[in-house]
Structure 1
């Protein structure tokens, strides 16, 4: 589980995890390359 701001250096991760659409895969690019993030639910 990731808390909001914990990935602060990687703002695209926070944006997708806490405001992105659920279930839909999101592509995020960081200095480490491309990542696919799929948020299943939020508590």
Structure 2
């Protein structure tokens, strides 16, 4: 019973944190790039 519960939580939980990390990472990269390239880019 505990093994099946553990497997269920392990298979059900990872996608959400992974997506959150990916989203935060993308936002951080885009934000830092815009902050760094903003004053330099002749836009």
Normalising by structure 1, what TM-score? 0.21
Structure number with higher relative contact order (C-alpha < 8 Å, ≥ 6 residues apart): 1
Q: Which has the larger radius of gyration?
A: 2
Q: Which has the higher helix share?
A: 2
Q: Which has the higher strand share?
A: 1
Normalising by structure 2, what TM-score? 0.21
